[in-house]
Amino acid sequence: MMTLANIIRDSAYCLTQFSDEQIQNIEKNIIVRNAKDKETYEAVRILKI
């Protein structure tokens, strides 16, 4: 399962910017899409944080 930590690993964001509840909500909305033998990850919707 893809986690928020995996997604923001190489960005300016860090997990401390999110509450545990926000992290859980975001992770519930992560979907995996395969494109040309490469996995890409997107959030299904934008959540108000």
Q: pLDDT tens digits for 16-44?
A: 999 999 999 888 888 777 777 776 766 55
9 or 36: which leads in pLDDT:
9
Tell me if 15 sits within 8 A of 21, measured CB to CB: no
19 or 49: which leads in pLDDT:
19
6 or 48: which leads in pLDDT:
6
Name the residue with tokens 């494109």.
Answer: 35
| pLDDT, position 19 | 95
